[in-house]
Each structure stands twice: as C-alpha cells, then as structure tokens.
Amino acid sequence: MSKLRIGSLFSGVGALDLAVEEVFDAETVWQVEFDQSAATVLDKRFGVPNYRDVTTVDWAEVPPVDILCGGFPCQDVSAAGRKAGIADGTRSGLWAYFAEAIDVLRPQYVIIENVRGLLSAKAHRTGDLGYLDADVVLRAGGAVVGDLADIGYDARWTTLAAGAVGAPHKRERVFILAHPAGAGLEGPQPLQGWRLGSPRCCRSAAHTRPGSGGDDLVTTVCKAIRGGLDWGKYQPAIDRWEGLTRPAPHPVEPNTKGEPRLSARFAEWMMGWPEGWVTDLINPEPRRKVEGTVSRSAALKMVGNGVVPQQAAAALRLLKDSLDNERKGSK
C-alpha cells in the first residue's frame, strides 16, 4: 500500500513534516519555503521540489497530495510579536494563501501549527461576509476555523506544550486537524502538560518570575565554561529530555575571541531535532561563502522559529485518534 503524500507550506526546516510523516505513515513530496537558509536544509534533508514563494504558486499545477501541512507566520499573532493579527499586508495574513491551497488541492487532511496566541489574537476582515457592511474583528483562531468551514472543512484542535512531552521548555502551540466536512467540528480539550521551569534567554526578566529559577540561559551557559556546569533545579528536565532523545551537547562553545556563546548544537537538541539536522550544515568558514551551508546565526534563527517534532506528533496522534474514533462510532 502506497504511503499518503504530504505537501508542506511554510516548511521551515521540515520539523512539522517529520511529525506528520511519523503519525500518518506518509511521505513528503513537495514543500514551499521562501527563506534561503531553510531551503538549503530542506534540500539536504528531503530533496523534494520546493516551490519557494507561496504567493506565486499555481496550486492547480502542483502534484496532488493527501495531506497539506504548515505553520503560517506567527509574528502578528504571537504574544511576543507585533500583535497586528491576521490582516492584509501582515506576515500572518499569508494564511490566505494556505486557505487558497486547501480550496484548490482538497486534501484528505489539513494540519496547521501555530503559537498559542492564535487563540486570542485578532483577525481583521472587510465587509465581504454577506451580512456585514463594515470591517469586522474576529479572533484569529476563529477566523482560521471559519475559513476552513467556508471551503468545506471541519476542524478539531488542541494546545500542547513541548514540556508535556518531556522537553525542558514550555513552548505551547496550537495544532489544528481539518478534514472534508462530515465528521463534526467539536475538538478535544487542551492537554494539561507538565509545568517545567526552563532557563530564560534574557537577562532583563525579574529574578522572581515563575519558572525563572534565578539565572537566565546566558548566565547559566557562561558558568559552564568558567567553572563547570550545574543545571540546578533544571537537572531533572535535562535528564528527562536526554532519556527521550540523546545526550545533551555541551551548551556553550567559544566564539572567535574565545568568549562563551550558546552552542547551536545544544539549541538544536532542545528542539528534539535529529542530531546535526541543521548544525551539520553550518558553514565552517564563516568569512567565505560555501554552497550548501548556512550561517550560525541563520541556524539559531531556524531553531527559534522551529517546531518540536515530538510535541507535534503527540498532538497529531490525539487529534487523529479523536477523528478515527468518531468515524468508527458513526458507522
């Protein structure tokens, strides 16, 4: 039996694609990613066609797929971002192209990943809804589910923190599973994950902030190179993630001046990615352009924008099991 085919939008480095492949026993057949560094990683790790610019793809011309997945840009719906919401001209407004792809391709499943802010951020819509003459403001998550309904898809969703699957950081995300209408709209309640403290990455946060544990990540890793590493209250979280993934790389490395800096390999490990998924492609000669490589700064940016595959897989199993059980009950 042939595997289900995946088309991936806003693919990043393909971490969500890995989770979808695992849960649905599927294979990725094409991707859409504009960023050149991320595209370099995708070419090395997947080697499938990349249509690059989501705004110019003719969806009628791409190979059909059974699953369409992606995490459209979160900058305008994230609590840490611009908070402009989903609107024309915003990065998060690129959701409209995702919806267009769904409408044309009509996949069996649609999988959407985004930050938890999707549930509270705004979505601006002009008065083209038939019963409204003025601009309206909706919740972004409601607008996404409403758009799916308009094109004939039911949806169920959940929120899940990376810490709920053992990662040593919270990183709460929303996952939506949509399918052609007929199996119901009601989704499961969000899972209650473990509340894990995790080192912060900014010195400015208050020492007493919940989960801070005192030292931020920068201070903690600097201590590692100046007198030995002591994770303190975070040791159980580090141990747990090591048990679920692989031994943690050393969290710091020297920069060109011998001063400590965050290790890209450690950041990659925190995300649960396969060893070297991105870091093996870091240019060893940063002053000289080497084809097929990425810069360290680009690698860290991709980590920051990425998906924890184990987290995504757990959420998708929950949603898929819910849908499968509902379908069995309706027979």
User: Cβ neighbours of residue 235 under 8 Å, at least 6 residues apart?
Assistant: none
CA dihedral 59, 61, 62, 63 (to 10 degrees): 120
Distance CA 309, CA 167 (A): 11
Q: How far apart are CA 215 and CA 235, in angstroms?
A: 14
Among candidate residues 267, 250, 274, 248, the one with its CA nearest the CA of residue 305: 267
Residue with tokens 């499938």: 48
Check 74, 201, 202, 222 and give the catalytic one. Answer: 74
Active site residue 74: yes
CA distance 236 to 240: 6
Q: By the 8 A CB rule, do 170 and 304 touch?
A: no
Q: What residues are labeled active site?
A: 74
